A and B are shown apart, each in its own frame.
Chain A
Amino acid sequence: MGQNLGLLADEELMQLVRRGQAPAFEAIYERHASAAFSLAYRIVGSRNGAEDVSQEAFLNIWRSGARYDRSKGSVRTWVLGIVHHRAIDFLRRATVHNKRRASDKGMEERFEASDRTDVEVARREEAATVRDAMDELPSEQRQVIELAYFGGFTHSEIAEMLEAPIGTIKGRMRLGLKKMSDRLSGGAVMR
């Protein structure tokens, strides 16, 4: 190929992926697989499920590289958006809705990423910053955000679950996101 793919930006790699170049896709995979798998695991709550979701998502990315629009955000945001979408679909297809999230009980299945590269260290710092921002939210705001984003529940399902009016649930979501956005504004975690 004559190119050091490792030197190319994600957006440049995606142009090669669109032309069907498998090595460019492999480079994209290497950069984002850990984040993708982690997110999938957080949502579906099992290694097998996370593998299924990740595989489905990355094959979708390979086949639909043309859909990536750099004006709408980074490749990482796009990749994780696809993983999130697939994981929530996976959840909604599952018949048992309550046993699927990565609860504390599921922690024994976790295995940490072994690569301690600078990039990995930076990502861990990002993760800590975002978690801090979430931890600072009032518990009722954090709860509705987590139920919606990681649990795949709709506002009406959450309202029913928490026995609260839908308007209250929507209000908590908005306040929580607003506080997080303000807290994170200007930070690298929002790429």
Chain B
Amino acid sequence: MAADHERWSDSVAPYLLGALPGDELAAFEAHMTHCADCREELDALAPAVRALPNSVEPMAPPPALKARIMAEVEREASLLAAAGPEADRPPAPARRRRRLAFGMPRLATLAAAAALLFVGVAIGVGVDQLGSDAPDTVAAKVDPAMAPGAGAEFELGDAAATLTAHGLPPAPSGRVYQVWIKRAGQDPEPTAALFSPAKDGSATAMVPGPLDGVNQMLVTDEPIGGSRTPTGKVYLIASMS
């Protein structure tokens, strides 16, 4: 262990400063899990690194920045609210799926969208009560501001899901759509499901599993090749609860 520490003892400072190359970073973090000396050194040097951001001259961000961020936040908050209070909670153990696909007609406001979503959910419950034994299929809530007239659903299989959409606009220039999965209390996880809709707005994408514990799927626009964390706007959300 001592020899191992010798090898890494001078890496704590570069680690804290973000100056370890990728290959060393993982190895050092693995070493630190069992090296009390390195952790002690880390605790001793960390205050300086935590203070570094405070050395910067304060600057006022432009008001337009807040306006852009809050517009997106409020839009997503509305979508989440429309998805229901269970949207970010762990799924029930023996949950039943709704089999429902509905397109979102053009709506002028999110309030109107929410009203329609309520109708959509009510229809979904009605279908559910019929006791359908159809494949597990979940309708997505489409943001009418981002994709007016679009509709989408996820068909859930044991090891993968399939997204089928219609009426999607082309992704912004230089970007593609990406599907994300989300488990309760966790960040959205990227999937390899990247797609561009056909000219008529239709699209199909396979979302590889495992999907255990997933309670939401989202679609955003991302740079070609995809992202590791969402950077674009949310177009649709499907809740699995």
Contacts and interface: CB of A to CB of B under 8 A. Distances in A.
B60 A115 contact: yes
A39 B73 contact: no
Interface centre among A25, A36, A47, A174 (most CB of B within 10 A): A174
A33 B13 CA distance: 28
Contacts of B188: 63-64
A33 B21 contact: no
Nearest to B184: A66
Contacts of B231: 56, 59
A114 B60 contact: yes
Interface string B80-105: 11000000100000000000000000
Interface stretch (B41-49, B150-158, B197-205): B41-49
A5 interface: no
A143 interface: no
> Size class of A's contact patch?
35 or more
A29 B66 contact: yes
Interface residues of B, number: 50
Contacts of B127: none
Nearest to B186: A66
A98 interface: no
Contacts of A18: 185
A178 interface: yes
Nearest to A147: B19
A73 B49 CA distance: 13
Contacts of B210: none
A26 B57 contact: no
Interface string A7-33: 000000000001111100110010001
Nearest to B68: A55
A83 B18 CA distance: 13
B187 A35 contact: no
Interface in A31-51: 33-39, 41-42, 47, 50-51
A64 B125 CA distance: 30
27 contacts: A19-B88, A22-B70, A26-B70, A29-B69, A34-B59, A42-B56, A42-B57, A54-B61, A54-B65, A59-B230, A64-B188, A80-B53, A112-B60, A123-B54, A130-B51, A145-B52, A148-B19, A154-B19, A167-B10, A170-B13, A173-B19, A174-B13, A176-B13, A177-B17, A178-B48, A184-B47, A185-B47
Given A19-B88, A130-B54, A184-B48, 17 more contacts: A34-B60, A36-B61, A37-B61, A55-B68, A62-B69, A63-B76, A88-B18, A113-B58, A120-B58, A148-B18, A155-B14, A156-B21, A170-B10, A170-B14, A180-B51, A185-B47, A187-B51
